[in-house]
Chain A
Amino acid sequence: MILFVKLFRESALFAWGSVVSNKLRTILTLLGITIGIFAIISVFSVVDALERQIRTSISSLGDNVIYVQKWPWEFSSDFAWWKYMNRPTPRPSETDEILRRTQVVEAAVFTASTSRTVEHLNRSIERVSILTASADYDKVRTFGLESGRYFSPTESAAGRNVAIIGSEIASGLFDDADPLGKNIKVFGRNLEVIGVFETEGDDTFGNSHDELVLVPLTYISSFIDVSSDRYNPAILALGRENFSNEELIDELRGTMRSIRSIKPAADDNFALNQTSLLSTQFDGVFAVLKLTGWIIGGFSILVGGFGIANIMFVSVKERTTIIGIQKALGAKNYFILIQFLSEAVLLSLMGGAIGLLLVFTGTWLASSVFGMDVLIQMSNVMLGVNVSVIIGLVAGFIPAWSAAQLNPVDAIRANT
C-alpha cells in the first residue's frame, strides 16, 4: 500500500510537472469543472437559503394550526374559483361553536384584516395592516412583546379601544418615545396603545408583526362587518398536543359541516388549509430550481470532463515508458489503472475545489457585505466533492484503462 502511495506520488508529481509546465492548458481544462461545480453548488446554496427562509416563514404560521377559510391554498392551473366564490365566509360565532363542539381543538381564534391610515398627533402612516382577532390570538400565533402586555380577557370580551402595535409603527409614530398609554387614531377613533410587538424582521410572506396594529375583535365588529369577504376572515384552530393534523382536520370538517348544516352528499363550503400545503407547493418550485442548476452546471462539467480525459491521454502518452517498466517488473493492470484514475480524480477535485472556493467567497460576500442569509451547507460541499470525484472517475477511466491495457513490451519500446 505504501509502495502504491509512493508510486502514485511519483505519478502525481509527474502529472503536476506537466500541469505546471502547461498552465494555460490546465486552467482551460479545469475551468469547465470549476464553473460546473460553482454553478451547481451556488444554485443549491441559494435554493437552500430560500427554502430555509420559506420553511421558517411557513412554520411561523403554525405547524399544527388549521386555517378555516373560504378559499383553499392552491396554486394549480385547475383552480375551480367559480366553485369557491359563492361560499360563505367564516363568522365569529362559528369560532365559538368549534370550541364548544370539538375535543381536539386547544384554541380557536377568529381573525380579519384590513388596511388603514394610522395617526398620532400630526404624524400618520398610510396603508397599515390592521389585524383584528378574538381573545386567544396569543395562544394560536407565536410572537413576543417588546413592551406592554396582551389584551386582558375583559378588554377582549368588552371590546375596549386598545391596540398592540408593531415596532415599525411605534418608531414611525413615536420615534424613541414610549408609546404605551398613548392614543393612536384608526378608523377615525382613538385606540390606546397597551403593547408593542418585538421586532421580527420581514419573512418571505410578509407575515411579520412589525408593521401591523392588532385590535380586539369585539371592538372592531361593533362598526364593521368582520365577516365580509374583503376583510379576509379566517378561523385559526390550534390542535391539542398528541393529535395529528389529519385528526384535527377530520374533526373540524365534521364540526363545520354540522355548524353549517351541510347535507351528507353535498360538498364542503369551506376550506381547511394547513401550512404543510404551502410547503408542498414550494417543493415543486425548489425541484425546478435545482434541476436548472444541474442543467447549467452539467454542461460545464461535461466540457470539463472531456478536458480531463484529454489531459489524461497526454499524461498516459508521456509516461508510457514508466508504465512499461512497472508492468515489466510485474505491476498488474489494476495497479496502473488505479494510478491513473487517482490522478484524474485529483485533477477533477482540484477543479471542484476551486469552484467550491468561489462559492465560499460568493456566500461570504453575500452574507457579510450584502447581509443576505446564504450559507454553504456541508451537504452541498460533499455534493461538490462527490460530483468532482465521479467526473474524475468517468473522464479518467478510458485513458487509465488504455494505460492499464498497454503491453509492457510495447510500452518499453516507446522509448527504447
Chain B
Amino acid sequence: MIQIKDLRKSFEELQVLKGVDTTFEKGKTSLIIGQSGSGKTVFMKCLVGLLEPDEGDIFYDDMNFTAMSVRQRTRVRKKMGMLFQGSALFDSLTVEENVIFPLEMFNKNMTKKEKLERAHFCLDRVNILNANHLYPAEISGGMKKRVAIARAIANSPDYLFCDEPNSGLDPQTAIVIDKLISEITKEFNITTVVNTHDMNSVMEIGDHVVFLYKGDLWWEGSSEEILTSQNKEVEDFVYASELMLKLKSQ
C-alpha cells in the first residue's frame, strides 16, 4: 500500500502539485489520469523518487519514503518494478536475458538455474515464453511490452509503476496489455500505479482512478463512478472523444 499525504511540488513560481492526498491499495490497479499539464507526470516522479516533493509525505507500507536516507530508499526501490514508456529493453540481450538482468543485479544468491527458471516463469506468465531466445528487434511492440512486464515482475516487486504502458500500441494490443497488468496486480498482490491518459485503460483496469486537475486531486473513485461523475472537469476529460459521447448518449 502507498499512502500520499499533502504532497506539494513547485517549480519556481509555478505550483504543480497543490497538496495531493490519496492511497493506493495493495492488489489494486490505480490509474493517474488528467489533461496534459495537470501534474500527473510530476506526481508519478515524486512517487518513485524521480523528484523530491517540497512538502508532504509518501508512505510505502507505513515507511515514510520522503524521510528515508539514500541507502534506505535503495532498499525500497528494490521492491519497485518499473514499466518504462517504450519498453526500454536492451537491444543486445535476448528476451530471456532482458528478464534475467534485474535478477543478476539484485539476486546474487540465486543460482543460474534458479534465475533461468524465474525468467521462464515470468515470460510464461505474460505468454511469451516461446520467444525467449529472440532479440527485441525481432518481436512486435506488444511483445516487447510483455517482455517489459515480465522484467518488471522478475524480482517479485511489491509495487509496480507503469508509465504510459499503452503508448505506441494498437487498441487491441493495448487492451491485452492492460488486462495483463491488472491480472498480475491481483495474482501477485502488487500495488500498481499506472500513469495514463487512455480512457480505454480506465474502463478496462481502473480499480481506483485519480483525476488530477491543475495540480489538485480533483476527483477519485472507481472506473464505473467516473462515467457518472457530475464534476464538470471530469466530464470534459472523460467525454472529450466522440466515441465516449456516443456511448454516453446510448
Contact = CB atoms under 8 A, between A and B. Distances in A.
B84 A325 contact: yes
A409 interface: yes
Contact of B101 (A3, A322, A408, A410): A3
A382 to B, nearest CB: 31
Given A3-B100, A329-B151, A330-B106, A416 B85 contact: yes
B102 interface: yes
B160 interface: no
A325 B93 contact: no
Given A10-B90, A409-B49, A416 B102 contact: no
Nearest to B82: A328
Interface in A328-367: 328-332, 335
B92 A6 contact: yes
B179 interface: no
A372 B51 CA distance: 68
Q: Interface size for chain A: under 10, 10 to 19, 20 to 34, or 35 or more residues?
A: 20 to 34
Contact of A7 (B50, B90, B155): B90
- Residue of B50, B82, B85 contacting most chain A CB atoms (<10 Å): B50
Contact of B50 (A9, A332, A409): A409
A260 interface: no
Given A331-B105, A335-B105, A412 B50 contact: yes
B88 A325 contact: yes
Contact of A6 (B48, B49, B88, B93): B93
Contacts of B163: 416
Contacts of A326: 90, 101
Nearest to A330: B105
B91 interface: yes
Interface string A2-30: 01001101100100000000000000000
Interface in B86-112: 88, 90-93, 97, 100-102, 104-106
A335 B105 CA distance: 9
Interface in B51-90: 51, 77-78, 82, 84-85, 88, 90
A53 to B, nearest CB: 51
A337 to B, nearest CB: 14
Q: Interface size for chain B: under 10, 10 to 19, 20 to 34, or 35 or more residues?
A: 20 to 34
A413 interface: yes
Interface string A386-402: 00000000000000000
A10 B105 contact: no
Contact of B105 (A6, A329, A410): A329
A6 B94 CA distance: 10
B78 to A, nearest CB: 7
A410 B48 CA distance: 11
Contacts of B214: none
A326 B102 CA distance: 8
B92 A9 contact: yes
Interface in A293-334: 321-322, 325-326, 328-332
B96 to A, nearest CB: 11
B46 to A, nearest CB: 10
Contacts of B125: none
Contacts of A335: 105
Contacts of B90: 6-7, 10, 322, 326
Interface in B190-249: none
B26 interface: no
A203 to B, nearest CB: 58
Given A329-B151, A412-B50, A416-B85, A7 B78 contact: no
Nearest to B73: A409
B50 A6 contact: no
A330 B102 contact: yes
Contacts of A412: 50, 84
Contact of B93 (A7, A331, A410): A7
Contacts of A6: 90, 92-93, 97
Nearest to B78: A330
9 contacts: A6-B93, A9-B92, A10-B93, A322-B90, A328-B84, A330-B101, A330-B155, A408-B77, A416-B85
Given A328-B84, A416-B84, 18 more contacts: A3-B93, A3-B100, A6-B90, A7-B90, A7-B92, A9-B92, A13-B92, A325-B88, A326-B101, A328-B82, A329-B102, A330-B101, A330-B105, A408-B77, A409-B45, A409-B51, A413-B50, A416-B163
* 10 A-B pairs with the lowest CB-CB distances in the bound complex, closest first: A330-B105, A10-B92, A330-B106, A409-B50, A329-B102, A325-B88, A6-B92, A330-B102, A331-B105, A9-B92
